[in-house]
With several copies, the nearest count.
Chain A
């Protein structure tokens, strides 16, 4: 069993939102005083010169942030990640979604032969694709966004080059066929 300080540190690290003291009390199922002490200790540990991570406390809200000294570096990195050209893997994934969307993650992975979780999250973040719950099939499907279509100068997916031919390509049908999935299970 780990200590309270470690627990709070994990939570502050993994979240992308500020957490209130109240929330931390309930998440760690601990007493208020103890949570308060642990937070204070973490703030002392982190808020030192030379640290790349700092802990901010605004009112009741606690958040882990990057050190102010590294603002420019961090901004440049985020810019590179969110506005730059896509990696080959991301481009492949986006392409399959463009030609085959709406498509499920399982189908995407069957076609690419590799896991796509992180890539999907990043494409979603950049507004290039969107996800939708397919309630009948109980699964999430992905399609390209209207913004992305417009960016390509298109009004509809079917206006993509060679859409008919590429969309229903024989190899794709084969790789997604039940026999192929059966082989994979073996």
Chain B
């Protein structure tokens, strides 16, 4: 595989864009399909060090979308439902690229250190004497403080929520892995048939790919565009 030189990325779209640009490709469905494996490779390598826990789920979702696009290209005979995924991701990536480029311009503007400043203290003429808000009481302070404390909940729950979201995706992968494992030999179209929605289709691919990598299963395709036969190894 072409050696990839990606050192730093901000989010899944940034990574994807860098992969495409590295190969000097335009943003199209075809180029998305062609960088899918590299994307997943990098995801596996960097998940620990470079991707904050809060963002892992987002990286996985893009991986899933890429796999779906690639699968469609490889296995057009399967019933995929409406074709949207490729268009959507292509469009999203193009828009992201526009803002990414704008952000480089903004970065250069800020770096020029062309700053304005506003008045720091109200211009009052005379010194202001001690002036408490007339109606403020200690009970009002207590009530306000309680409100402040309650307002902290969403941010305090954030880490738990992020983890839950990531687990959700990972769990789906392991469910499907189990199913393949139990049925010694199965056709991929069979798995697709059982999938309840597009998300599960995508996740099936993630699972299949991982199982192949771990040498748990092997896949066989007699002719291009024909159904894939999955067999348990050993």
Contacts and interface: CB of A to CB of B under 8 A. Distances in A.
Contacts, number: 275
Contacts of B147: 92
B119 A183 contact: no
Given A126-B128, A183-B199, A111 B116 contact: no
Contacts of B136: 85-86, 91, 151-152
A82 B117 CA distance: 10
A154 B109 CA distance: 10
Interface stretch (B28-36, B70-78, B83-91, B213-221): B83-91
B131 interface: yes
Contacts of A58: none
A16 interface: yes
Given A85-B134, A177-B198, A182-B199, A95 B144 contact: yes
A148 B115 CA distance: 9
A111 to B, nearest CB: 6
Contacts of B42: none
B233 interface: no
Interface string B107-120: 10111111111111
A112 B57 contact: no
Contacts of B95: 111, 169, 172, 175
A54 B120 CA distance: 16
Chain A: interface residue count, which band?
A: 35 or more
A151 B54 contact: no
B128 A180 contact: no
B71 to A, nearest CB: 16
Chain B: interface residue count, which band?
A: 35 or more
A176 interface: yes
A71 interface: yes
Given A16-B121, A91-B110, A179-B199, 11 more contacts: A16-B123, A84-B111, A85-B136, A91-B144, A96-B145, A113-B12, A165-B98, A171-B152, A172-B149, A175-B91, A182-B199
Interface of A: 13-16, 54, 56, 63-69, 71-72, 74-75, 78, 80-86, 88-89, 91-92, 94-96, 98-99, 110-115, 117-118, 121-122, 125-128, 145-154, 160-162, 165-166, 169, 171-172, 174-177, 179-180, 182-184, 186
